[in-house]
Amino acid sequence: MSGLTPELPLSIDFNGGFQLLTTYKRLVAQNLRMLLLTIPGERVMLPEFGVGLHQMLFEADVSTSRDKIAGRIRGQVGAYLPYVEIRDIKIASHDTNSRMASGRVHVSVSYRIIPLGIFDLINVEVSSIE
Protein backbone atom coordinates (compact mmCIF):
# COMPACT_ATOMS: atom_id res chain seq x y z
CA MET A 1 0.00 0.00 0.00
CA SER A 2 1.34 3.43 -0.83
CA GLY A 3 1.20 6.27 1.62
CA LEU A 4 1.59 10.00 1.93
CA THR A 5 4.48 10.24 4.39
CA PRO A 6 6.07 8.24 7.20
CA GLU A 7 4.10 8.11 10.44
CA LEU A 8 5.89 9.64 13.41
CA PRO A 9 7.42 8.34 15.53
CA LEU A 10 8.99 6.10 12.92
CA SER A 11 8.12 2.44 13.09
CA ILE A 12 8.66 -0.51 10.77
CA ASP A 13 5.64 -2.11 9.10
CA PHE A 14 5.21 -5.82 8.31
CA ASN A 15 7.01 -5.41 4.94
CA GLY A 16 10.15 -4.00 6.56
CA GLY A 17 9.47 -0.42 5.45
CA PHE A 18 8.30 2.55 7.45
CA GLN A 19 4.69 2.69 8.59
CA LEU A 20 2.99 5.31 6.38
CA LEU A 21 0.09 7.67 6.83
CA THR A 22 -2.54 6.90 4.21
CA THR A 23 -5.15 9.62 4.80
CA TYR A 24 -4.98 13.39 4.65
CA LYS A 25 -6.86 13.61 7.95
CA ARG A 26 -4.07 11.74 9.75
CA LEU A 27 -1.40 13.69 7.86
CA VAL A 28 -2.87 17.02 8.96
CA ALA A 29 -3.14 15.79 12.57
CA GLN A 30 0.53 14.77 12.49
CA ASN A 31 1.58 18.10 10.98
CA LEU A 32 -0.39 20.00 13.63
CA ARG A 33 1.10 17.91 16.45
CA MET A 34 4.63 18.60 15.15
CA LEU A 35 3.87 22.32 14.92
CA LEU A 36 2.62 22.36 18.53
CA LEU A 37 5.57 20.43 19.94
CA THR A 38 8.44 21.96 17.96
CA ILE A 39 10.37 24.64 19.84
CA PRO A 40 11.07 27.78 17.79
CA GLY A 41 14.66 27.57 16.57
CA GLU A 42 14.66 23.77 16.63
CA ARG A 43 13.86 23.26 12.94
CA VAL A 44 16.75 23.85 10.55
CA MET A 45 16.17 26.65 8.02
CA LEU A 46 12.83 27.60 9.66
CA PRO A 47 13.81 29.29 12.94
CA GLU A 48 10.32 30.75 13.50
CA PHE A 49 8.54 27.39 13.05
CA GLY A 50 6.88 25.90 16.10
CA VAL A 51 4.71 26.76 19.08
CA GLY A 52 6.95 25.20 21.72
CA LEU A 53 4.35 23.90 24.17
CA HIS A 54 7.07 22.53 26.46
CA GLN A 55 8.20 26.10 27.09
CA MET A 56 4.74 26.92 28.44
CA LEU A 57 5.45 24.75 31.46
CA PHE A 58 7.92 27.36 32.70
CA GLU A 59 5.67 30.40 32.33
CA ALA A 60 3.43 31.74 35.05
CA ASP A 61 0.13 29.85 34.84
CA VAL A 62 -2.28 32.75 34.48
CA SER A 63 -4.88 33.55 31.85
CA THR A 64 -2.47 35.84 29.97
CA SER A 65 -0.08 32.89 29.44
CA ARG A 66 -2.93 30.77 28.08
CA ASP A 67 -4.00 33.64 25.82
CA LYS A 68 -0.41 34.03 24.64
CA ILE A 69 -0.04 30.34 23.74
CA ALA A 70 -3.47 30.27 22.03
CA GLY A 71 -2.41 33.29 19.97
CA ARG A 72 0.87 31.59 19.11
CA ILE A 73 -1.00 28.46 17.98
CA ARG A 74 -3.31 30.53 15.76
CA GLY A 75 -0.39 32.48 14.29
CA GLN A 76 1.72 29.41 13.59
CA VAL A 77 -1.18 27.52 12.01
CA GLY A 78 -1.94 30.54 9.82
CA ALA A 79 1.68 30.77 8.71
CA TYR A 80 2.55 27.08 8.23
CA LEU A 81 -0.76 25.22 7.87
CA PRO A 82 -2.98 27.67 5.96
CA TYR A 83 -5.29 24.82 4.95
CA VAL A 84 -6.33 24.43 8.62
CA GLU A 85 -8.94 26.59 10.32
CA ILE A 86 -8.73 26.64 14.11
CA ARG A 87 -12.20 26.33 15.63
CA ASP A 88 -11.35 26.28 19.34
CA ILE A 89 -8.36 25.98 21.67
CA LYS A 90 -8.61 24.77 25.26
CA ILE A 91 -5.61 24.85 27.57
CA ALA A 92 -5.73 23.12 30.93
CA SER A 93 -3.19 22.80 33.71
CA HIS A 94 -3.14 22.23 37.45
CA ASP A 95 -4.10 25.90 37.81
CA THR A 96 -7.34 25.40 35.85
CA ASN A 97 -8.02 21.76 36.76
CA SER A 98 -6.97 20.63 40.24
CA ARG A 99 -7.22 16.96 39.17
CA MET A 100 -4.26 17.44 36.80
CA ALA A 101 -0.77 16.80 38.10
CA SER A 102 1.43 19.80 38.62
CA GLY A 103 3.95 20.30 35.80
CA ARG A 104 1.54 19.21 33.06
CA VAL A 105 -0.29 21.19 30.39
CA HIS A 106 -3.06 19.75 28.22
CA VAL A 107 -3.94 21.48 24.95
CA SER A 108 -6.99 20.56 22.91
CA VAL A 109 -7.37 22.08 19.44
CA SER A 110 -10.48 21.58 17.36
CA TYR A 111 -10.01 22.42 13.71
CA ARG A 112 -11.32 22.04 10.19
CA ILE A 113 -9.28 20.91 7.19
CA ILE A 114 -10.57 23.58 4.82
CA PRO A 115 -10.22 21.91 1.39
CA LEU A 116 -11.70 18.64 2.63
CA GLY A 117 -14.36 20.05 4.96
CA ILE A 118 -13.26 17.59 7.65
CA PHE A 119 -13.51 18.53 11.33
CA ASP A 120 -11.14 16.97 13.84
CA LEU A 121 -9.70 17.39 17.32
CA ILE A 122 -6.15 16.95 18.54
CA ASN A 123 -5.12 16.57 22.17
CA VAL A 124 -1.53 17.14 23.26
CA GLU A 125 -0.25 16.85 26.79
CA VAL A 126 3.23 17.97 27.77
CA SER A 127 4.99 17.37 31.04
CA SER A 128 8.06 18.75 32.73
CA ILE A 129 9.07 15.12 33.36
CA GLU A 130 9.49 14.21 29.66
> Whole-model pTM?
0.84
Domain ranges of the chain: 6-18+25-127
Contact between 10 and 4 under an 8 Å Cβ cutoff? The reply is no
Number of other CB atoms surrounding residue 32 within 10 Å: 24
Q: Give pLDDT tens digits for 10-64.
A: 888 887 888 888 899 999 999 999 999 999 999 999 999 999 888 877 666 555 6
Pairwise CA distance, residues 61 & 106, whole Å: 12
Above 90 in pLDDT, residue 96? no
CATH of 6-18+25-127, one of 3.10.450.40, 3.30.930.10, 3.40.50.850, 3.40.50.300: 3.10.450.40
Pairwise CA distance, residues 5 & 27, whole Å: 8
More confident residue, 30 or 5: 30
Contact between 65 and 59 under an 8 Å Cβ cutoff? The reply is yes
| pLDDT at site 100 | 63
| pLDDT at site 115 | 96
Range from 27-36, 74-83, 90-99 carrying the lowest mean pLDDT: 90-99
Strand (E) positions, the chain?
5-6, 20-21, 84-93, 104-113, 118-127
Pairwise CA distance, residues 120 & 99, whole Å: 26
